[in-house]
Amino acid sequence: MGTALVTGATAGLGLEFVWQLATARHDVVIVARDGDRLEQVATQVRAAAGVRVEVLPADLSVPEDLDRVAARLAVIGDEPGDDRRPVGLLVNNAGFATAQRFVGGDLGVELSALDVMVRAVLVLSHAAAGQMTARGRGAILNVASVAALTAGGTYAAAKAYVRSFTEGLAVELKGTGVTATVLCPGFVHTEFHGRAGVDMSSVPEIGWLEAPAVVAEALADVRRGLVISTPSVRYKAASALLRLAPRAVVRAVGKYR
């Protein structure tokens, strides 16, 4: 049994990560903006799985909140009077779709997205990697997207950063006992698009994945030490095509959400 910290833990893939980790007997530290919703999730998970659930409300676009989460990740567990257990798995899952065009869009929204999906991933991975390498064990799982291989605006750009950053981190961590994995799913049935007000009715059902299957495959890939986790055969094939296609063709395909 170990402790996992999950950001964006109250909805979508984040909530599914919490449940699968808890039912596998991992204690969890759950992070999200909505403190009331975090407490509801914590109460349900404690009752159903019987594990320790630590609630950490934080808006990762706010530097002070981000620093608090980073400080929790840095805990090694040997401070007198501190019974908090060190985090053995970090799941950087928090993110959102901006649902706007960049030109003429709200710059504040873009900067918030950058803070949550890029800066927070960098800061929290740094805190976790330092603590984990000191103990000689641990894993970091950063959630990106197949969108990282597309020309899908600032969301795709953020996920491209996460993918490239995680690959580089995995190289640096080799031989330390700590691994880094980037999850690159396609469309997943969650609240993600609905909360952003993005109309996905044109996407055929075959293009959708189910959250439990995505999370199960991601956690299996973390256990195997894989660097890139792309759930489902069809999205593995789509990713291969996107990597091989000329960038002019990729740009012509249009926006991926």
Could you confirm whether 155 is annotated as catalytic? Answer: yes
pLDDT digits (tens, 9 = 90+) for 59-94: 999 999 999 999 999 999 766 667 889 999 999 999
The stretches of 149-198 forming alpha helices (DSSP H) are 153-173, 192-196
Q: How far is the C-alpha of 6 from the C-alpha of 183, rounded, in Å? A: 14
Q: Dihedral through CA 138, CA 143, CA 146, CA 150, nearest 10? A: -110
- Output the pTM of the full model: 0.91
pLDDT digits (tens, 9 = 90+) for 219-237: 999 999 999 999 989 889 9
- The pLDDT value recorded for residue 257 is 42
Q: How far is the C-alpha of 85 from the C-alpha of 28, rounded, in Å? A: 10
Q: How far is the C-alpha of 257 from the C-alpha of 174, rounded, in Å? A: 33
- The pLDDT value recorded for residue 256 is 47
- Binning the chain into helix, strand and coil, the percentages to the nearest 5 are 50, 15, 35
Q: Which residue has the tokens 């969650």?
A: 190
Q: Please tell me which of 117-121, 199-203, 242-246 the model is most confident about, judged by mean pLDDT.
A: 117-121
Distance (Å) of CA 166 to CA 19, 30, 147: 24, 22, 15
Residue 198 CA from chain centroid, whole number: 20
Task: Provide the 3-class DSSP secondary structure of residue 102.
Answer: coil
DSSP for residue 149: G
Q: Which residue has the tokens 């299996």?
A: 220
pLDDT value at 109 more than 90: yes
- The pLDDT value recorded for residue 225 is 97
pLDDT digits (tens, 9 = 90+) for 94-108: 999 888 999 999 999
Question: From the candidates 155, 161, 235, 256, which is the catalytic residue?
Answer: 155
